[in-house]
Chain A
């Protein structure tokens, strides 16, 4: 499969080998721009958060450098999340299938997936994570710009300085919660998930088990093309 073929291939295809393209190259590249920039902001942000975690800034080049780059990496992360919004927004809307699935989420947590109703390309947990990060990023951007240029906020509007601190901290902590679960599920818990965001492909069995409605849609389209 040539590079140009991977880029131009629509995400809803499967080939004869039973591998299904789950994430296009553009989606994967963008995901990792978001991942790296978030990780940088996480390490440096935690350094600014607590003296006990200041060593995190030291491992990425020291405090002043961390302070200089944190907002720029934050902007890169914002751009990446906005692109995700553009591309995934329609896939991330809540459906009736999601509501049914969410009622049985305890089966998902206990790995009793056979008791779950079928769902589309993303499950409700992934959608919650997406919207947490999307709205979180907007709030982090707004409060972050205020913290970046804190002296430009006039003294008479100093409540904005305090609000920015409170919002940036609270939202960052919320996204960290989501991030911990996202990394755990993407690497350790849901086997096959990590390779899908690196190489882009999943097996038919994986797609059938985790995202049956999406799998059926892809299978229909593929057979229609043939």
Chain B
């Protein structure tokens, strides 16, 4: 795995093929978040800040257990809290670790215009390269999970790196290491998927969570962060987890057909005026008078 993060699969804003893509098969890495055993202790938040060198941010009290409304450029990992009333009237305290989902088809990367500012490594980690980031914020519009955040002093975008620097050295991400309940797991996508399905089955068969399931949305090609949910039919209850996240159609249109239609239209305009000049030439006031005089 140590070389895995050096193998690049996709590059944002890049004209032409990705150098060296696909020369080696790499394992997909994956984080598994079991929301059914999360106690909302926020040890993962602290570990994330500590490893990445940020300090704790001011909390915003909103009468619930949630410390702040959203992730921030210097706060990549946030427990989303929701008091959820079930159909039978009982109350559930839902906790979800919110961070970059490391989509297999990343909307941020599709929207990014800067060559090399966003890369997807062969192991599936989607990472921002701040030295190439131009701070345009297009990734904000491309992301279906509202994750990329802007640092207004450095004019760069930031988000969870899935601890690519740790993973590159064969370590698990910092949040995984800090979790005291074992609700966070890290490994290959296949292994995590199997573990998640086993846990979901256990919940369905040995508890009253008949709709327990795994969140690995197909609309973005699956994600590098998957959840076990008590109720997979209602992901929105977990702090607004989108039911069927996709790259917004405007972004797909913009970066797909619209680009070629627009480029052809601009080229057509330039060719058009050039042809006009070759066919009809300039309007010259004096010359035309002479021509007219010659004709009569």
Contact = CB atoms under 8 A, between A and B. Distances in A.
B218 interface: no
Nearest to A177: B269
B41 interface: no
A161 B288 contact: no
Q: Is the interface of A mostly helix, strand, loop or mixed?
A: helix
B171 interface: no
A150 B140 contact: yes
B273 A68 contact: no
B6 interface: no
13 contacts: A47-B113, A49-B262, A50-B113, A64-B133, A64-B135, A67-B135, A169-B262, A173-B266, A177-B266, A180-B273, A189-B276, A192-B285, A205-B286
Contact of B115 (A51, A166, A190): A51
B26 interface: no
Contacts of A68: 135, 155
B93 interface: no
A13 interface: no
Nearest to B13: A51
Interface of B: 13-15, 70, 113-115, 132-138, 140-141, 146, 149-150, 155, 240, 248, 250-251, 253-254, 258-259, 262-263, 265-266, 269-270, 273, 276-277, 280-286, 288-289, 292
B269 A52 contact: no
Contact of A67 (B155, B250, B265, B292): B155
Interface in A45-70: 47-52, 54, 57, 63-64, 66-68
A217 to B, nearest CB: 19
A191 B240 CA distance: 62
Contact of B15 (A51, A66, A164): A51
A165 B155 contact: no
A52 B15 contact: yes
Contacts of B146: 155, 158
